[in-house]
Structure 1
Amino acid sequence: MKDLQEILAIAREVGWGAAEILRSYYHGTAKDPNLEVQYKQNEPVTVADVAVSQYILQRLQATLGNEDFAYISEETYQLPSGVAQASAPWVWIIDPLDGTRDFIQKTGDYAVHIALVKETRPVLAVVAVPEAQKLYYATKGGGTFVETRDGSLPLQVSSGKRVEDLTLVVSRSHRNQRLDYLLQNLPCQNQKSVGSVGCKIATIIEQHADIYISLSGKSAPKDWDIAAPELILTEAGGKFTHFDGTPLQYNTGDINQWGGLLASNGEYHELLCKEAEKILAQFDQD
């Protein structure tokens, strides 16, 4: 198997290529610029998702093959047939278009997520934000970088703020009563609306926000929503855990990330996790 830096170089190149394809659909310059919106389990899926998924899978498989790696992409994932599948130790977890609603509504907040997971934890991640023309990448223990046409720079999360002064990055669309109650009762009340988990986490590592909370309701975020963003955050000095402090796990046979998840610049992480549990317990009693 190639070493991690060689694999990262390939993943970054693929990330930029995927970003270019999405931009061509977004700006109507693609060969087939008519975005046919279909709904899969109530989520919008466009021809752009499918085109980018095919591109990423073909490029990675052509360069890296199928011997060492399994591949899970949002667009090709089939729900397990009830038969327990032995999960491969190395798996690529891919979201070709995170933030489809934002893509369709033209907010610019959409991203490409590519993560390489070993056993249950990410070791390499690429998050491309096409409209910002930025690509964030990280390897386990290697730090987080942002790449633009001008080169790469290391990134670090914010520090030194009071808990009241922290800014939460929140969704435009995925909201429910429990989440609203939680956000209204946290000690920090500054909020910034951003679509796509990848764009939200990029906002934290660019120091424009400090916290993101995900709370599953009827559905939950999937492995491909979280795996790449988690690594770029933690390698920039942040934290991303369940409310009870346990690490997130991927490639477990269940692609859902249930429960409460908190991503932060790390400074008040445990305090905010405990606070979130307390606030939700109050809500559930009422």
Structure 2
Amino acid sequence: MKDLSEILAIARQVGWGAADILKSYYHGTIKDANLAVQYKQNEPVTAADIATSQYILEKLQAALGNEDFAYISEETYKAQQIKSNSTWVWIIDPLDGTRDFIEKTGEYAIHIALVKERRPVLAVVVIPEAQKLYFATAGGGTFVETSNGAIPLRMSLEGNKKSLEDLTLVVSRSHRNPKLNYLLENLPCKNQKAIGSIGCKIAAIVEQQADIYISLSGKSAPKDWDIAAPELILAEAGGQFTHFDGSPLQYNTDDINQWGGLLASNGQYHHLLCTEAEAILSQFSESEFDGK
């Protein structure tokens, strides 16, 4: 098997190529760029999702093969026979933030993560409209790459320590439920910034334009491909992304869903916010919001 630095170089190249495909659909520069929007479990899927998924899988498999690696992509995972005991698994979201892609907010991203056993060891998150590619390896730090090259990214809280009330939450425009709304309304930090893709949300935290992101599953939950790559980008830049009880996230298990409460932060007040979130949710009554 190639070493991790070689694999990272391949993943970065594939990430930029995937970004070109998405931008050609987004800006209508591809011939017959019909998005052909369909819905799968109430979530939109476009021709851009499928074309980008196919490109990423073909390029990675051509370069790395199927002997050492399994591959999970959002658009094809149901058709794949994935063994959860595979040691090395690529977990791919070819277009995170499809609604934002359709609505032209620019807040969409590509997530490519390599998971060893249950934890990510390599991550690439591309934000095509910002022309930025974030990459990280476990223990190797986080970098942001543009046309001018790559520079390390490390969040510095020294001299920039905010009060709990002044922290800014990044929130979704569409993935909301009464329980999450109740939590957000009762947290001490009231500043909110709506951003689309989870990759874009985590980039905002890493770039120190926001401080916290909270995911709380309802009838559905974010999937492995929504979180694996952004998590490593954040962690290697000095942040944290955990369950509310502080336990680490696990990937490539028997369940592709990330159930429960998850909190991503720049590391400041992380444990306190997790504790606060659990305390607030213990006061939540479903019946109050069901009109009972």
The TM-score range, normalised by the shorter chain, is over 0.9
Alignment check: 8 A CA contact 1:158 1:210 kept: no
Pairwise mapping of residues 75-86 of structure 1 onto structure 2 (< 5 A)? 75-78=75-78, 85-86=83-84
Structure 1 gaps of 5+ residues are: none
Task: Tell me the equivalent position of 2:146.
Answer: 148
Task: Tell me the equivalent position of 1:91.
Answer: 89
Partner Cα distance (1:227, 1:162) in 2: 29
Deviation at 1:71, TM superposition (A): 0.1
Partner Cα distance (1:8, 1:284) in 2: 46
Q: Does 1:161 align with 2:159?
A: no
Partner Cα distance (2:264, 2:104) in 1: 26
Cα 1:68–1:87 change in 2 (3 A) is same
AA in 1 matched with 2:101: F
Task: Tell me the equivalent position of 1:72.
Answer: 72
Superposed CA offset, 1:150-174 (max 9, x none):
1111112352222111110000111
Q: 3-state SS of the aligned residue for 1:256? A: coil
Superposed CA offset, 1:105-135 (max 9, x none):
0000000000000000000000000000000
Alignment check: 8 A CA contact 2:84 2:252 kept: no
Task: Tell me the equivalent position of 1:209.
Answer: 210
Structure 2 gaps of 5+ residues are: none
Alignment check: 8 A CA contact 1:112 1:129 kept: yes
Q: 3-state SS of the aligned residue for 2:68? A: coil
Q: 3-state SS of the aligned residue for 1:57? A: helix
Partner Cα distance (2:41, 2:79) in 1: 12
Runs of 4 or more consecutive aligned structure 1 residues displaced over 4 Å after TM superposition: none
Partner Cα distance (2:274, 2:237) in 1: 20
Alignment check: 8 A CA contact 1:158 1:265 kept: no
Task: Tell me the equivalent position of 1:55.
Answer: 55
Q: 3-state SS of the aligned residue for 2:285? A: helix
Partner Cα distance (2:284, 2:156) in 1: 31
Partner Cα distance (1:48, 1:76) in 2: 14
Partner Cα distance (2:155, 2:54) in 1: 33
AA in 2 matched with 1:47: A
AA in 2 matched with 1:118: K
Deviation at 1:238, TM superposition (A): 0.2
Identify which range, 211-220 or 86-95, moves more after superposition.
86-95
Task: Tell me the equivalent position of 2:130.
Answer: 132
Task: Tell me the equivalent position of 1:256.
Answer: 257
Q: Does 1:170 align with 2:171?
A: yes
Task: Tell me the equivalent position of 1:221.
Answer: 222
Task: Tell me the equivalent position of 1:115.
Answer: 113
Partner Cα distance (1:257, 1:158) in 2: 29
Partner Cα distance (2:271, 2:147) in 1: 37
Aligned residues: 284
Give % identity.
77
TM-score (norm 2): 0.95
Q: 3-state SS of the aligned residue for 1:78? A: helix
Task: Tell me the equivalent position of 1:42.
Answer: 42
Deviation at 1:181, TM superposition (A): 0.9
Cα 1:86–1:222 change in 2 (3 A) is closer
Superposed CA offset, 1:55-93 (max 9, x none):
000000000000100000000011789xx9452100000
Q: 3-state SS of the aligned residue for 2:93? A: strand
Alignment check: 8 A CA contact 2:84 2:253 kept: no
AA in 2 matched with 1:229: P
Alignment check: 8 A CA contact 1:93 1:223 kept: yes
Partner Cα distance (2:113, 2:131) in 1: 19
Task: Tell me the equivalent position of 2:269.
Answer: 268
Partner Cα distance (1:11, 1:169) in 2: 27
Partner Cα distance (2:146, 2:83) in 1: 39
Alignment check: 8 A CA contact 1:87 1:253 kept: no
Q: 3-state SS of the aligned residue for 1:67? A: coil
Partner Cα distance (1:86, 1:151) in 2: 36
RMSD: 1.4
AA in 1 matched with 2:68: D
Partner Cα distance (2:275, 2:113) in 1: 29
Superposed CA offset, 1:247-285 (max 9, x none):
000001210000000000011000000000011111138
